[in-house]
Amino acid sequence: MAKPSLTSKQKQAVAQRANHCCEYCFCQVKYSPDPFSIEHIIPRSKGGTDELDNLALACQGCNNR
């Protein structure tokens, strides 16, 4: 699998839009021991883009689900 190639600027924009909370369970980044990751809502393999609309901030728990 190819690694996501989001820029740190994109990641920052997603985190800011999400108010630094997981967009699934709404836990806050600052209360999490693990760094959050940026998920593609529609995977790129299915035609999803790297636009902000298709990106979501997810904690490790939600990301691994």
Q: Rounded to the nearest whole angstrom, what is the least distance from the CB of residue 59 to Zn ion in the complex? A: 4
Give the separation between CA 53 and CA 61, rounded to whole angstroms: 22
HSE, CB side, 13 Å, CA atoms: give it for residue 8.
0
Binding track over 3-32 against Zn ion, x by CB under 5 A: -------------------x-xx-------
Interactions with Zn ion, residue window 25-64 (CB under 5 A)? 25, 59, 62
37 CB neighbour count, 10 Å cutoff: 17
List of residues contacting Zn ion (CB under 5 A): 22, 24-25, 59, 62
